Copies of this chain bind each other. A is one copy, B any other.
Amino acid sequence: MSEPTQADNVLMDFDLLKKLVVGIGEVADISGVPQRQIRYWEDKGIIRSVKEGEGSTRKYDYLNIKKVLLVKELLDDGFTLDAAARKVEERMKTINDAFSRLSGNKGQSE
């Protein structure tokens, strides 16, 4: 009950991962999707950012970064944005599941 084990570290990873939110610039860098486009997708309700305060900047959590990556992939594959959005929504169910199972599953409701 003193030195944390490796297992502890791995588990803590997901705990931390849940809290990690990155700016739109980072998402653009990681995904290759321009900021402008990311905002557009968010306007359409396909992805969602967390806004901490009132007039603050967008922050994207892990799952939404994943969404961006998936949507991009599907667009490149030739799907329309709407179709991609629908498909991603399907896939996210699985990912959400795996994610909350790994992270100790507190409610992933609203």
Contact = CB atoms under 8 A, between A and B. Distances in A.
A38 to B, nearest CB: 16
B26 A22 contact: yes
Contacts of A6: 94, 98
Contacts of A95: 9
Contacts of A66: 16
**Secondary structure type dominating chain A contacts:** helix
Nearest to A30: B19
Interface size band for A: 20 to 34
Contact of A22 (B20, B69, B98): B20
A19 B3 CA distance: 28
Interface in A23-72: 23, 26, 29-30, 52, 59, 62, 65-66, 69
Contact of A59 (B26, B59, B98): B26
B20 A94 contact: no
8 contacts: A9-B94, A9-B95, A10-B98, A13-B62, A16-B62, A20-B30, A20-B65, A22-B23
